[in-house]
Amino acid sequence: MRTMGKKHKLVYIIHDLGAGIGGAELACLSALPSLNEHFDLRVYVLGRQNGMLMEGLDKRIVRRMKFYPSSVYTMLFSLPFLYASLRSFKPDIIISSLWRSALVGWLYKYMHSSTRYYLLVHSSEYFHWADRLFTTRGMRICDAVFADSQATAQFVSRVIGNKADIRVLSYLLDAPPNVAPPRQFMSTKRFLFVGRLNKVKQVPLAVKTIAALYAAGIDAELHIYGRDDGDRINVERAIRKYKLQRRVVLKGELNPKDKTTVFTSYDYYIQLSAQEGMAMSVAEAMQYGAVCVVTPVGGIAQYAVDGYSAIFVDTADELAWGNSMQRVMSVVEDAEQCRAISKAAFNTFRGAPVFADALIEAIDHNAG
């Protein structure tokens, strides 16, 4: 894409960096150093700063960031300023991530058709009316959709057919470790969850799992890392219902700098979501060799294999749930089987590209 050494101008627009830490935000920040090397970069954030996320970010990149705190309602007043700033910079490429940024991206593309516009899509379903409205319009006008999983790509294809090029990217934030962390799978069964406390994540079911294990005489506990996204009250209600106050602990948001320490401190990871895109936290847990207890939704079913590199849970009804719990109990009590699953999980992503490299390659490929 670059001619005679001149860097193309690229704007990365993201929904927010203040409300909390999620996969889209971490993917964006992980890619900025490489994008800054390859392009004349600007970053537009349609929200606030999160000190935890900004911590350790290169000051040269921070200087290229512009913040426009806004909600879906106040953003209409910000649009003229956003457009004026973009028009002044005259980007060759725009990338938007999450629904609010899609509004800015598709409007600018509509006004300047020669600008290359790429839409990052992170989910296989819409979350609300604004997501449906803005993301769909972005899908229809962009030059390419960069999806985080085959499940997300299939969702995009169902919505827009062949109106845009759809490409699945690796959303791994860091290269997998060369050596798997040592795990013994003995004594206390320590489970980890990292993610938003949102109804779609079904964290109360993870609490219910710990209750089932404990009732069967298994010494199990769960630590939950993540911000409240509307479902914390139900998580707390489940903890009280099963009397697990000493076994299930809400730890707050995970600081990215502590990620390796946290993921290597738990032998088991649990995520029983109703729907997902890639499920980045599950992929990261597998990278570290954790035994993952998951629902096979979204991208999980594409990279995890039941009984080989993960344990699948069926939540369709109480009979299916009970059978799944018997399988989970059988596996976690068998250290040899846990070590085999751990090894397979660790090997799943060995050699896979990280998000930054995949994104740059996709931009160059799409440009022809």
**pLDDT for the residue numbered 352:** 84
Q: Which domain holds residue 111?
A: 9-175+353-367
State the Cα–Cα distance between residues 244 and 80, nearest whole angstrom: 51
Spatial neighbors of 3 by CB under 8 A, at least 6 apart, are: none
State the Cα–Cα distance between residues 66 and 86, nearest whole angstrom: 11
State the Cα–Cα distance between residues 306 and 368, nearest whole angstrom: 39
pLDDT digits (tens, 9 = 90+) for 209-245: 999 999 999 999 999 999 898 999 999 999 999 999 9
State the Cα–Cα distance between residues 234 and 277, nearest whole angstrom: 23
131 domain residue, yes or no: yes
Same domain membership, residue 111 and residue 198: no
Same domain membership, residue 207 and residue 170: no
pLDDT-based confidence at 16, cuts 50/70/90? confident
Is pLDDT of 164 > 70?
A: yes
State the Cα–Cα distance between residues 363 and 10, nearest whole angstrom: 11
Query: Please, is 342 exposed, middle or buried when counting C-beta atoms within 10 Å of its C-beta (0-12, 13-18, 19+)?
Result: buried
Same domain membership, residue 252 and residue 131: no
State the Cα–Cα distance between residues 49 and 18, nearest whole angstrom: 5
**pLDDT for the residue numbered 282:** 96
Q: What are phi and psi of 112, to 5 degrees?
A: -135, 80
Spatial neighbors of 360 by CB under 8 A, at least 6 apart, are: 34, 35, 38
Spatial neighbors of 326 by CB under 8 A, at least 6 apart, are: none
pLDDT digits (tens, 9 = 90+) for 149-161: 888 999 999 999 8
Same domain membership, residue 14 and residue 98: yes
In order of 20, 137, 153, 221, the CA distances from 123 in angstroms are 17, 16, 9, 29
Residue with token string 């700033």:
85
Helix (H) or strand (E) holding 10: strand 9-14
Among residues 4, 6, 5, 11, the alpha carbon closest in space to that of 363 is found at 11
**pLDDT for the residue numbered 3:** 45
Share above pLDDT 90 across residues of the chain, in percent, rounded to a whole number: 63
275 domain residue, yes or no: yes
Is pLDDT of 363 > 60?
A: yes
State the Cα–Cα distance between residues 173 and 187, nearest whole angstrom: 31
Same domain membership, residue 314 and residue 296: yes
Q: What are phi and psi of 5, to 5 degrees?
A: 80, -5
112 domain residue, yes or no: yes
Same domain membership, residue 156 and residue 266: no
Same domain membership, residue 208 and residue 90: no
Is pLDDT of 115 > 60?
A: yes
Same domain membership, residue 248 and residue 106: no
How many structural domains compose the chain?
2
Is pLDDT of 353 > 90?
A: no
Helical ranges in the chain per DSSP H: 23-38, 51-54, 59-62, 75-89, 99-111, 129-141, 150-160, 203-215, 232-241, 259-263, 280-287, 300-303, 318-332, 335-348, 355-367
Q: Measure the CA dihedral 322/327/330/331, to 10°.
A: -140
Same domain membership, residue 243 and residue 145: no
3 domain residue, yes or no: no
Same domain membership, residue 125 and residue 102: yes
Residue with token string 């001619």:
3
Spatial neighbors of 368 by CB under 8 A, at least 6 apart, are: none
pLDDT digits (tens, 9 = 90+) for 304-347: 999 999 999 999 999 999 999 999 999 999 999 999 999 999 99
Same domain membership, residue 148 and residue 16: yes
Same domain membership, residue 262 and residue 338: yes
pLDDT digits (tens, 9 = 90+) for 54-83: 666 788 888 899 888 776 667 777 888 889
State the Cα–Cα distance between residues 313 and 175, nearest whole angstrom: 28
181 domain residue, yes or no: no
73 domain residue, yes or no: yes
Give the amino acid at 351.
G
249 domain residue, yes or no: yes
Residues facing residue 3 across a β-bridge: 6
Q: Mean pLDDT across the stretch 7-25? A: 79
pLDDT digits (tens, 9 = 90+) for 170-204: 888 888 788 888 898 988 999 999 998 999 999 99
CATH number of the domain residue 328 falls in: 3.40.50.2000
pLDDT-based confidence at 2, cuts 50/70/90? very low
